[in-house]
Amino acid sequence: MLLFALLPLSVWAAPKLTQESVFVGQVYQKELDSEATVSGQSGAALPNWLIFRNNILQGIPTENDIGTHLVEVKSASGSDFHTLKFVVKEDTENPCGTEDTFWLEAIYSNDEGTQMRLDAAIEIGQFQPLETLRVYSANYSRKFRNVELVMADAEDPKFAVIWKVACNDVDAATDAMDAFITEDEVDYEQIVLTKGRVIPGTSKIEATTVVSTTTKRTTRGLYGNDARPVRLNPMPTYKCTKGQLCEMLIPEDIFRDQEDGSTFNLRLSISSLDSNAKQYFALGDRNITGISMKSGEFNFRLEARDKNDQMVTAPFTINVYISPKTNHLVDLEMDKPIKEFESDPLESARFIKRLSDALGAPPSTFTIREIKQGVNPNKSVVTWSNNSLTAERCNEDAIMELKNRMVTKQKERTKTEFIKAIGPQFYVRKASTRLTGNCLKESEMETTQIVPVASEPSSAGIGNTNWMLVLIILGCLLLLICLILIICSIRGKGKKKIPSEYMTKGSPVVFPEEVDEDNGDHAGTPMLTREERPPLKVSTTENPLYKPPPPLTAASPRIPAGSAHISAAQKMPPPYVPP
């Protein structure tokens, strides 16, 4: 009995109730069983903002759906039955709190209902988290937010998919906008960048107040009635070659400003989006000009500002392909600091134009291969080649003709007319050419043919040659020793013997007391002094023939020191008779 009493309670138990909150514009998705059936309350149709496809209950509520909605979900057997209670409300919290929020808005000019809005949100959800997206009608997106346009404006929009990209950071916002624009898989009409805050406490009545979409909306910028410039069309993709002058025209219909006019009435500039890439391009006269010394894909952004410095951007890409092959190189050493080439992207373009004027050829004829510093930072060397000379074969006559237009034939000095044609801005000190590629190979082959190739000697021949070389060296040494001995012997015989005797040997010696002081005839006669004293210092170098006199004997008569004259009775010595 108890079992039968409980059975009706299990069969007629109240269905399960699940409450879920959904914000206006939020993408809602819930996967159900494959055989489940979904309907509105008491089997009615689903609310307008919900659809059931691929076993997924999904939808996007609008501002007209604020309130409560009941959805019944039943299993195929009917045993599982529950009710989903949706509470749709406005999202009144500012994403960036007390700071201004930057939103990106993908604008669509056609609105075919919930399914189209879902498809648009899911498509953008490939690049942005789906839960961060909001899909609003054009009128409501301006009702619950107090925003101003930062970039671009839309003509007659129907709905927009919006998401936050930055908080009070315009640079980060514009970078996010440029990155999203490069995605080609998203099919939207236009992209808009807005800045502002959510208005708290927006009511349903205010939200459902409809403004006719046929009325053209005028948006004010930061400077009163001065509207911001808008981007009308995307920039094209450009193709260039490494080392060659590239001039890319800017279409006139890229931007439009209500007060200032078309693109070229605005202040234009470009900036690189690749942080690790050097910028080789700059704005020229209605074009983008430069010479890239690297190959690859480079991303840039063209910026346009009006007189009040309100900006709009358009990203673009430059694909730089590798340089063609060459078989010659020309080096120009110039009095120009290398930093001028590095700081100004247009400087290399000016050089190519001056070179083309000097040689009378179009700028596309030349390819810069390298720009490097010279002997000091105030000098630079530019290496280039001529594209009109084919690299398939070596045409040395054409290369020599090119060289002769720059340097003289005899002393290979840089021609004055070539220096003047290049101009003082790129004053050329020296011009020289080099062969490379197939020209270098042919030159090596010719050199190899001119030089005779000697046969390789055998090992026995090498041994005999070494022994002969040793014998020749020994013979030369013996001959040299013999010559030295002969010369020394000849010089020894020719020397004269230095006499070791006195020069006055055999002459009579006169003593002092035997000399008459009044008679001067004895001046040339050797005699002894009154007081014989040895010299203080005997030097053989002054007079090698000098020898001191022998000592006086005791038998020698001496005259007293006080006597001044010799007595007359003194006997004179006998005359000297030589032996």
pLDDT 10s digits, 58-97: 999 998 888 999 888 887 666 677 888 899 998 888 888 8
CA distance 187 to 199: 30
The predicted model gives 549-573 an average pLDDT of 54
Q: Which residue has the tokens 């908080």?
A: 167
- β-bridge mates for residue 356, sequence order: none
pLDDT band for position 261 (50/70/90)?
confident
Q: Which residue has the tokens 């808008």?
A: 230
Distance of CA 308 to the CA centre of its chain: 35
* pLDDT digit string, tens, across residues 394-427: 988 999 999 999 998 887 888 989 999 998 899 9
How much is the mean pLDDT over the chain?
A: 77
Residue 109 structure tokens: 């000019």
More reliable by pLDDT, 349 or 500: 349
In this structure, the strands spanning 311-321 and 238-241 are: parallel
Please enumerate, as own/partner, the contacts of 569-576 that have beta carbons within 8 Å and a separation of 24 or more: 570/514, 572/514, 573/510, 573/514, 576/508
pLDDT band for position 8 (50/70/90)?
very low
DSSP per-residue string spanning 10-45: HHSPPPEEEEEEEETT--EEEE--TT-EEEEGGG-P
CA distance 240 to 295: 9
Reduced to 3 DSSP states, what percent helix, strand and coil does the chain have, rounded to the nearest 5? 25, 30, 45
In this structure, the strands spanning 311-321 and 255-257 are: unpaired
CA distance 240 to 320: 5
CB 305 within 8 A of CB 257: no
Distance of CA 311 to the CA centre of its chain: 30
* pLDDT digit string, tens, across residues 279-288: 788 888 889 9
CA distance 237 to 578: 134
For residue 204, pLDDT over 80 is answered with: no
Specify burial of residue 545 (Cβ count, 10 A radius: 0-12, 13-18, 19+): exposed
CA nearest 84: which of 161, 15, 141? 15
Q: Residue 321 has what pLDDT?
A: 94
CA distance 353 to 287: 16
Q: What domains are defined for the chain?
A: 16-89 (2.60.40.10), 101-203 (3.30.70), 233-321 (2.60.40.10), 328-448 (3.30.70)
CA nearest 576: which of 502, 499, 504, 501? 504
Residue 321's SS3 state is strand
Other CB atoms within 10 A of residue 306 CB = 23
In this structure, the strands spanning 81-89 and 67-74 are: antiparallel
Specify burial of residue 253 (Cβ count, 10 A radius: 0-12, 13-18, 19+): exposed
DSSP 46: P
Instruction: For residue 207, give every residue at least 6 positions away whose Cβ sits within 8 Å of its Cβ, in sequence order, or none.
Output: 24, 63, 64, 66, 90, 140, 143, 144
Q: Residue 207 has what pLDDT?
A: 35
CA distance 328 to 384: 9
Other CB atoms within 10 A of residue 149 CB = 22
- β-bridge mates for residue 37, sequence order: 74
The predicted model gives 492-497 an average pLDDT of 58
For residue 351, pLDDT over 90 is answered with: yes
The predicted model gives 464-474 an average pLDDT of 79
* pLDDT digit string, tens, across residues 359-392: 999 999 999 999 999 888 899 999 999 999 988 8
For residue 138, pLDDT over 50 is answered with: yes
CA distance 253 to 235: 10
CA distance 340 to 346: 10
Q: Residue 184 has what pLDDT?
A: 57
Residue 82's SS3 state is strand
pLDDT band for position 319 (50/70/90)?
very high
CA distance 574 to 429: 104
Residue 515 structure tokens: 């000399």
* pLDDT digit string, tens, across residues 500-546: 455 555 556 556 666 555 555 555 555 555 555 555 555 555 555 65
CA distance 277 to 579: 121
Residues in the chain, overall count: 579
Dihedrals phi, psi of 81, to nearest 5 degrees: -140, 125
pTM: 0.44
Q: Residue 221 has what pLDDT?
A: 41
